[in-house]
């Protein structure tokens, strides 16, 4: 009994500290809202979220070619919604940013624009975005993992925000696709259709692990980040318009 008592005296404080750390990470640190300074420049496209760039893919005629699947994936298969005016811009880029549980989970406007549409699509069951080893690589080792064309990106719950604005003095259409992970509870949205947003403005908060796919329909972009780079929402320029 004395031995058990001594063990408990050692283990109970450790368990209490561990529980306090978990509570802090899940209930306080996860919801942090740091001050972000958005760089000036009307030709800069700003990161919509914190996370790691996991792919940058060319969009041609409204489709992205998947080397993994050996076929093309239509933009609408990822957005789960058509553009508000019924026509999808054909040529541009898709940037995928994986948000680990350690990242800030606010999402931000990448440019000055008008919100032309918001579409929410649920799912019967959200699939896990990554396996254990991929999770360790992305979250703790900060190593790039190509997540393009995985089933979760096509099937999980998502919210798509359509933006129409100006970049470099010329019109630009952007679609932000907020994709939920298996353990995501909800997406809180702070904007409405018809509202004008400024670069770096908070537009939503997505709980737990998640991803943002950013469609940018322009052929004259110079990317300032690459696959594997860590980016910060409302702060990191990810592309410049020529």
Q: Are residues 43 and 123 in the same domain?
A: yes
Quote the CA–CA distance of 175 and 178 in Å, as a whole number: 10
pLDDT at 8: 60
Q: Are residues 20 and 103 in the same domain?
A: no
Q: Are residues 27 and 109 in the same domain?
A: no
Q: Are residues 1 and 107 in the same domain?
A: no
Q: Which two tokens stand for residue 124?
A: 């019967």
Q: Are residues 168 and 55 in the same domain?
A: yes
SS3 180: strand
Cβ-Cβ contacts under 8 Å for 210 (sequence gap 6 or more): 99, 105, 129, 178, 179, 180, 181, 184
Q: Are residues 13 and 133 in the same domain?
A: no
Q: Note down the domain range covering 10.
A: 1-31
Q: Which two tokens stand for residue 102?
A: 């350690």
Q: Are residues 56 and 176 in the same domain?
A: yes
Cβ-Cβ contacts under 8 Å for 34 (sequence gap 6 or more): 104
Quote the CA–CA distance of 233 and 242 in Å, as a whole number: 22
Q: Are residues 74 and 5 in the same domain?
A: no
pLDDT at 40: 92
Count CB neighbours of 128 within 10 A: 16
Q: Are residues 78 and 183 in the same domain?
A: yes
Q: Are residues 174 and 55 in the same domain?
A: yes
pLDDT at 239: 97
Q: Are residues 79 and 189 in the same domain?
A: yes
Q: Are residues 81 and 145 in the same domain?
A: yes
pLDDT at 233: 97
Residues of the chain with pLDDT under 70: 1-5, 7-13, 15-29, 67-70, 86-87, 183-185, 208-209
Please give the tally of structural domains in the chain.
Answer: 2
CATH number at residue 86: 2.70.70.10
């Amino acid at each position: 009994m004395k031995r058990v008592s001594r063990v408990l005296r050692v283990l109970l404080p450790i368990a209490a500290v561990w529980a306090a750390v978990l509570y802090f990470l899940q209930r306080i640190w996860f919801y942090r809202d740091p001050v972000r300074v958005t760089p000036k420049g009307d030709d800069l496209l700003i990161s919509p979220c914190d996370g790691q760039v996991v792919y940058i893919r060319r969009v041609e005629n409204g489709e992205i070619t998947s080397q993994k699947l050996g076929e093309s994936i239509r933009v609408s298969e990822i957005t789960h919604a058509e553009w508000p005016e019924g026509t999808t811009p054909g040529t541009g880029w898709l940037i995928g940013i994986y948000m680990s549980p350690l990242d800030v989970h606010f999402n931000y406007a990448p440019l000055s624009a008008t919100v032309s549409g918001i579409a929410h699509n649920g799912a019967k069951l959200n699939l896990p975005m990554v396996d254990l080893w991929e999770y360790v690589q992305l979250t703790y080792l900060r190593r790039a993992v190509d997540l393009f064309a995985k089933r979760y990106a096509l099937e999980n719950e998502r919210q798509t925000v359509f933006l129409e604005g100006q970049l470099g003095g010329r019109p630009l259409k952007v679609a932000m696709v907020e994709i939920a992970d298996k353990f995501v509870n909800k997406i809180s949205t702070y904007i409405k259709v018809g509202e004008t947003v400024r670069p770096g403005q908070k537009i939503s908060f997505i709980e737990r692990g998640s991803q943002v796919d950013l469609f940018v329909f322009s052929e004259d972009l110079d990317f300032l980040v690459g696959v594997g780079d860590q980016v910060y929402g409302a702060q990191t320029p990810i592309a410049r318009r020529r």
